[in-house]
Amino acid sequence: MPHLKKPRKVEPLSKLWDRKAQKCGLRHTVYSVNGDEYTGNWLDSKKHGKGTQIWKKGGAIYDGDWKYGKRDGYGTYSKLLSVTNEYSREYSGGWKNDKKHGFGTYFYSDAACYEGEWSEDQRSGWGRMYYDNGDIYEGEWLKNKHHGQGMLRLANENRYEGNWKYGKKNGHGKYFYLDKGQLYEGFWVDGVAKCGTVSDFGRAEAPTPTIYPIPKVHLLDVRSVLMETQSTYHGE
C-alpha cells in the first residue's frame, strides 16, 4: 500500500505578510504616514526600549525609554524653535504611560523652571520652582499647586514658611519681612493672615526698617487667644 504524504499546511498570505511586517528589535528609521519618524527598538510592532521620536507637526523630539508604544522610563523632550531652527530642551526626567512621572526638570523659559516630582503630567510631591519674576518656591505640591509644607522666597528676599492648601497659605505659618525687619507668625486662611503676632526680626540689618520698633504688648494668655480665633475659622 503506497504511503500517502499529509498535505502541508499553507500559511495564508495575509498572516504571512502580517508576520513579516512585525517590528521587533533594533531598526533603522521608520516613517509614519503623517511624516513622524522613529529610530530605535521595537517589540511586537510597538516602540519598546531605547528610541528617538520626531513629530513632523511642531518639530518636537523625544529621546529616551519606551514601553509598549508609550514613553516610559527616562527621557528628554525638546521643541524646535522656529526663530533659530534649533532644539530647546523642555523636559528631562521620568515618564510613565506617556506622561511625566517621577523626578524631572521642566523648563518654562530661560529663567523659569521646575525641578522635582511629577505624577501624571502634574507637579505633585516635593519640588522647587524658579519663577520669571525671581520668586522661588520650595516644598510640597499637589496637582500643580503648592500644597503641604513649603517656603516661598520673594525676589526681595521676604519669605513665607508654613502650610499651604491648593496654592494658598492655609494654617500656621511665618512671614519674614526682611526688608522692614519684622516677622509675622500666626494663622492663615485662603491666603489671608487672620490671627497672629508681629515682632521685630533682624531690624538692624533691614534695608528699609520701620522708624520705631514694635512695642511689647503683654496678654495674660496669648495661646488661648490664638486657639480661640483659629477654632472660629476651622468651624466655618
Which has the closest alpha carbon to 141: 152, 149, 132, 133? 149
Instruction: Look up residue 189 and give its DSSP letter.
Output: E
Element (H, E) at 22: none
- Confidence class for position 4, pLDDT limits 50, 70, 90: low
Q: Check residues 15 and 139 and name the one with the higher pLDDT.
A: 139
Residue 198 above 80 pLDDT?
A: yes
pLDDT per residue over 95-132, tens digit each?
999 999 999 999 999 999 999 999 999 999 999 999 99
pTM over cut 0.85: no
- For the chain, the average pLDDT equals 87
17 — pLDDT class (breaks 50, 70, 90)? very low
User: Whole-angstrom Cα distance, residue 77 to residue 64?
Assistant: 9
Q: Which fold has domain 108-234?
A: 2.20.110
Q: How many CB atoms lie within 10 A of CB 71?
A: 23
- Mark residue 165 as left, alpha or beta (left: phi above 0; alpha: psi -120 to 50; beta: remaining): beta
Q: Is the pLDDT of residue 211 over 70?
A: yes
pLDDT tens-digit readout, 129-150: 999 999 999 999 999 999 999 9
**CA distance linking residue 65 with residue 73, whole number of Å:** 5
Contacts of 94 (CB under 8 A, 6+ apart): 73, 74, 100, 101, 102, 103, 104, 118
Position 7 pLDDT exceeds 90: no
**Average of pLDDT values for 73-78?**
98
Q: Which residue has the higher pLDDT, 29 or 47?
A: 47
190, 168 contact by CB (below 8 A):
yes
Banded pLDDT at 218 (limits 50, 70, 90): low
Q: Mean pLDDT across the stretch 32-41?
A: 93
pLDDT band for position 13 (50/70/90)?
A: low
Give 150-165 pLDDT, tens digit per residue.
Answer: 999 999 999 999 999 9
Helix (H) or strand (E) holding 200: strand 192-200
Lowest mean pLDDT, pick from 27-36, 142-151, 173-182: 27-36
